[in-house]
Structure 1
Amino acid sequence: MVTEKFRRQLRQEAEKWWQEGWIDASLYQRLSERYQLDEIETSANNRFVTILLSLGGVLLGLGVITFVAANWQEWSREFRVFLLMGLFVGVNAAGFYLWRRPASSRGLQRLGHGLLLAGALILGANMALMSQMFHQSGVVYELYFIWGLGVTAMAYSLRLVSLGVLAWILLFISYWVWWFSGSFTQGATWIGMMINEMALVASLVFIPLAYWCRSRIIFCLGGIIFAVCFVFGIRPLSLWNNPNAGWLVAIAFTLPAALLWAYNLDAWRFSRSSGSRVASPVPVAADPFQAIARSLAICFFGILFYIFAFHWFWNDSLYRSASDRWNWQSWHYLDVILFIALTVLGWLRLSYQLRSLRIFQERSVNTGAIAVFIILTAVIFSWHTSIQPLPIIAPFLLNLMLFLLAIALIRDGLALGTRRTFWGGMSLLVLSIISRILEYDTDLLLKAFVFVLCGVSVIAAGLYFERNLKPSRTALPTNSSPESMP
């Protein structure tokens, strides 16, 4: 998948090659035509205009909704139904017609895109107003959930990334409204059961949509909603004092990262031959979204280690009241079992890499390091919950893993010349040091010294990194190995 960043880097390098005589004008022209290097700035301007028109479409939809609400009581019910249906069909039909215009009419295409986005908003308003007119009572999270599914169907049919993002927002809102309303402690409707399994539902909705639209944004959002909803769906802190649920707590805090790191479409077709391809000297094409999944796995561990590095998180008295409210049903295990099976298949494929694992790797954050993090994290949480509390050892080990993860990211950023990895590790390291200084009762002079030291270290490290920055080895498209990650 060719990104705009790659095209910009290729244009810069191709111009240098041409000026230095490595390539001639005809080869440069073929590269320009193949990767559309002359249209980079035009694409950026078009994207900005699209954003403005999308924003205008959203405001237009909100304005229409507000106008209808202002005159709602004065119209008859038949006229209301006709108005709502006509507005929805008219806006979407006009948007679809303009959006399907030839490529030369890009302005009309963007206008149609904005109208389709406004039509998705009108869909939610129609649902709410129709239920009100016909006295169909319900809760808010059900409205957002069905609205999100409707927008998802529109995104699949039109292959629009903006509609996929809007569907993600609506489904995420429905989940949090459902969560904070405490509906998981009450009798569940079919919508409530689906929202409770949001990690599975979102994975089935957004991961195929990401491939259908070829969108990194949708895949990243799908990975985020999977990880968040999986952890909150199990509610591990409510099981903190349940000695029989230590394995479930360990799964909640390790399985999202394990599954994201092992993610690869070829992994679900696991066979002996697929494993042999991993060790083959001939490179094979990796999944286009594997790097994003592995970045999300690293982010998950970074956030997890940072949160539970605070010692007061391991105070059992904080979770006694929550433990009494826990109500675990048998059907809650369905998504857990499915995700465990997928994770096992993925790591069976990665096991062929672990067999030939070298002591010194090109990357410090590799499959072996992630496997160690997963095992240690699972042991810590299960031991603390099921066997014996670890109020001192657990935060110490998590601080140690947080420190090692930050150092590994800094090392990878320096070795491979990737700014995002380097500054991610630096931010994690400085944040952990400052948090420990503020958490424990230390002298103000020591805190001032640590702040100054962190500031000087960040400036010095940044200057050193920028001065010794190496060109990224992944600047040109290559067949990525399974160990590849951003």
Structure 2
Amino acid sequence: MVSEKFRRQLRQESEQWWAEGLIDAALYEKLADRYQFQHLEREASNRFVAILMGLGAILLGLGAITFVAANWQEWSRSFKVIVLLSCFVGVNVAGFYLWRQPTSQKGQQRLGQALLLLGAMLLGANMGLMSQMFHQTGELYELLLVWGLGVAAMAYSLRLTSLGVLALILVNLGYSGGWFNWQLWQQFSWTSLIVQHLPLVVSLVFVPLAYWCRSRVIFGLSAITIATSLIFNLKPLSSGIVTSGWLPAIAFGLPIALLWAYSDRIWQRLSTSLTATPALASRTVTTDPFQPIARSLSIWVLGIVGYFLSFRWLWTDYSGYRDGALANWHWQPLIDAVLLAIVAGLGWLHLSYQLRRDLLRVQEKAINSGTIALTLVLMTIVFFCHSFLPGLGVLAFNLILFVLALGLIRDGLALASRHTFWGGMVLLVLGILSRMLEYDTGLLIKAIVFALCGVGVMASGIWFERHIKSDRPLSLPTSSQE
């Protein structure tokens, strides 16, 4: 599908071509009909109306909640139940009716989506007030978890991205509250199972929802949730230092390996190998729309982990902390790690199969599958051997940080990608400044380094902009470019 940015650029350029006499009116009309120039302003207006509708729905919901709260004590229990259920059912029925209107009536569809979003918010209000009326005690994070899963069910039934995003936000808020409740890790309940196995829950609930809704936002948020919750649940730094062994290797390495090797072709190949003939299986090759997002997030996770573990104080002598670290560790999240490690292993096997069959182009990027694999091997070696070689961890992760930064800068220059180039520059400058502030250096040296970093950033930015302008092709960018 052609992006709106491409259509706006094409309209601007084609109008200039027409004014300069490079094309005639007939060709301009063909371009306008093919790319629907006349609908561009209407689509922008519809988006603005949708934002206003969503904001209005939120304010309307807050007003309704405030009104109910003001008269709550004066109403009987039966009347309260009738009011809550009537509001919830009425808003959702009205939203569903408007949302199902024909495509030509965009305004009513967007109003319906806003009402459905309001209905999802009323679901949480109803749950909280019902539990209060019938004296059902519980923690706030339990309400958020149940609320989020309920909104996820609504998102599945209606196939709405906005509801999926809201469900993910609620689940993450509930997870944050439950993770800090240390008693939860000692008990067995459905909330403790969700918190302790959130990576698996998100993988089974929200990743399929991203494909069902065809939403890059839901997939990106799901991938971030899986990576962060996997690290937090395994607690590799429960005593404030990096211990030696398999625990930090899994906690920090598995999210990177999983995100980089992720592809839905794994399941396609498994399903076709079980149900289809070899000829049909060989023809079943489709592109994964979410793989670029997963790989970009893998690089982000690697950069954050590399920067965080490049500090010297995390690699202090751990001999007095090992028992305390193991005492604060729980084995339940290891189930998620094992299952996700199987998925990551299948992904890397599929990736190696593609490389052997030459189904991928030559990897022109500096940050490629080979670089990621070597980095993961180096990280594993460091986590197992740093107790025998003091200083190995600090040296290795500083090396990883600066190599990643230089690789991103190189790829940004080669591909004329601003995001990649400036991501590498940010990592490089952060690494240099952090080392200068961490180690005992004189103020004069710090001042010189800060000044050089500032001048270097400005000079590199000016040079990069000139570089991409000189190398920019004369034709319009394709619709896939951002």
TM-score (normalised: structure 2): 0.88
Q: Give the direction of change, closer, same or farther, for the CA distance of 1:374–1:184 in structure 2 (3 Å limit).
A: farther
In structure 2, the partner of 1:482 is: none
Q: Give the direction of change, closer, same or farther, for the CA distance of 1:194–1:474 in structure 2 (3 Å limit).
A: farther
The correspondence for 1:373, drawn from 350, 372, 375, is: 375
In structure 2, the partner of 1:404 is: 403
Alignment check: 8 A CA contact 2:236 2:242 kept:
no
1:415 matches 2:417: no
In structure 1, the partner of 2:333 is: 332
Q: Give the direction of change, closer, same or farther, for the CA distance of 1:321–1:185 in structure 2 (3 Å limit).
A: farther
The one-letter code of the counterpart of 2:153 is A
In structure 2, the partner of 1:259 is: 258
Give the Cα–Cα distance (whole angstroms) in 2 for the partners of residues 235 and 359 of structure 1. Answer: 39
- Counterparts of residues 33-48 of structure 1 (less than 5 Å): 33-48=33-48
Identical amino acids, percent of aligned pairs: 55
The correspondence for 1:364, drawn from 350, 354, 366, is: 366
How far the C-alpha of 1:183 sits from its partner, in A, is 3.6
The one-letter code of the counterpart of 1:346 is G
How far the C-alpha of 1:14 sits from its partner, in A, is 5.8
What CA deviation, in whole Å up to 9, does each residue of 1:207-234 have, x standing for no partner? 1121222211111111100101111121
How far the C-alpha of 1:46 sits from its partner, in A, is 2.0
In structure 1, the partner of 2:81 is: 81
Give the Cα–Cα distance (whole angstroms) in 2 for the partners of residues 402 and 25 of structure 1. Answer: 55
Alignment check: 8 A CA contact 2:10 2:476 kept:
no
**Residues 443-452 or 313-322, more deviating:** 313-322
**SS of structure 1 residue aligned to 2:238:** helix
What CA deviation, in whole Å up to 9, does each residue of 1:256-278 have, x standing for no partner? 1111111111123447x99x99x
Q: Give the direction of change, closer, same or farther, for the CA distance of 1:35–1:364 in structure 2 (3 Å limit).
A: farther
Alignment check: 8 A CA contact 2:3 2:479 kept:
no
The one-letter code of the counterpart of 1:152 is A
How far the C-alpha of 1:100 sits from its partner, in A, is 2.4
How far the C-alpha of 1:425 sits from its partner, in A, is 0.9
How far the C-alpha of 1:130 sits from its partner, in A, is 0.6
Q: Give the direction of change, closer, same or farther, for the CA distance of 1:324–1:436 in structure 2 (3 Å limit).
A: same
Alignment check: 8 A CA contact 1:311 1:391 kept:
no
In structure 2, the partner of 1:302 is: 303
- Counterparts of residues 39-438 of structure 1 (less than 5 Å): 39-238=39-238, 246-270=245-269, 285-316=286-317, 323=325, 325-329=327-331, 331-352=332-353, 354-355=355-356, 361-384=363-386, 388=387, 390-438=389-437
Q: Give the direction of change, closer, same or farther, for the CA distance of 1:333–1:175 in structure 2 (3 Å limit).
A: same
Give the Cα–Cα distance (whole angstroms) in 1 for the partners of residues 392 and 269 of structure 2. Answer: 38
Q: What is the root-mean-square deviation of aligned Cα atoms in Å?
A: 3.3
In structure 2, the partner of 1:449 is: 448
What CA deviation, in whole Å up to 9, does each residue of 1:224-261 have, x standing for no partner? 00101111121122388898x82232111111111111
Q: Give the direction of change, closer, same or farther, for the CA distance of 1:297–1:187 in structure 2 (3 Å limit).
A: same
**Residues 60-69 or 16-25, more deviating:** 16-25
Q: Give the direction of change, closer, same or farther, for the CA distance of 1:69–1:259 in structure 2 (3 Å limit).
A: same
Q: Give the direction of change, closer, same or farther, for the CA distance of 1:438–1:369 in structure 2 (3 Å limit).
A: same
Alignment check: 8 A CA contact 2:265 2:286 kept:
no
Alignment check: 8 A CA contact 1:249 1:382 kept:
no
**Residues 18-27 or 348-357, more deviating:** 18-27
TM-score (normalised: structure 1): 0.87
Q: Give the direction of change, closer, same or farther, for the CA distance of 1:131–1:466 in structure 2 (3 Å limit).
A: same
Give the Cα–Cα distance (whole angstroms) in 2 for the partners of residues 111 and 217 of structure 1. Answer: 21
Q: Give the direction of change, closer, same or farther, for the CA distance of 1:22–1:408 in structure 2 (3 Å limit).
A: farther
**Residues 231-240 or 125-134, more deviating:** 231-240
Alignment check: 8 A CA contact 1:268 1:342 kept:
no
Give the Cα–Cα distance (whole angstroms) in 1 for the partners of residues 238 and 155 of structure 2. Answer: 37
Give the Cα–Cα distance (whole angstroms) in 2 for the partners of residues 462 and 22 of structure 1. Answer: 35
The one-letter code of the counterpart of 2:345 is V
The one-letter code of the counterpart of 1:377 is M
How far the C-alpha of 1:475 sits from its partner, in A, is 4.0
The one-letter code of the counterpart of 1:131 is S
Q: Give the direction of change, closer, same or farther, for the CA distance of 1:414–1:11 in structure 2 (3 Å limit).
A: farther
In structure 2, the partner of 1:481 is: none
Alignment check: 8 A CA contact 2:241 2:315 kept:
no
Give the Cα–Cα distance (whole angstroms) in 2 for the partners of residues 332 and 229 of structure 1. Answer: 10
How far the C-alpha of 1:34 sits from its partner, in A, is 4.4
Structure 2: gaps of 5 or more residues: none
What CA deviation, in whole Å up to 9, does each residue of 1:422-453 have, x standing for no partner? 11111111111111111112111111111111
The one-letter code of the counterpart of 1:339 is L
Give the Cα–Cα distance (whole angstroms) in 2 for the partners of residues 165 and 66 of structure 1. Answer: 25
Equivalenced residues, count: 471
How far the C-alpha of 1:197 sits from its partner, in A, is 0.7
The one-letter code of the counterpart of 2:231 is V
The one-letter code of the counterpart of 1:218 is I
Alignment check: 8 A CA contact 2:91 2:116 kept:
yes
Alignment check: 8 A CA contact 1:238 1:319 kept:
no
Structure 1: gaps of 5 or more residues: 479-484
Alignment check: 8 A CA contact 2:410 2:421 kept:
yes
How far the C-alpha of 1:129 sits from its partner, in A, is 0.8
Q: Give the direction of change, closer, same or farther, for the CA distance of 1:248–1:327 in structure 2 (3 Å limit).
A: closer
Alignment check: 8 A CA contact 1:305 1:402 kept:
yes
Give the Cα–Cα distance (whole angstroms) in 2 for the partners of residues 211 and 446 of structure 1. Answer: 52
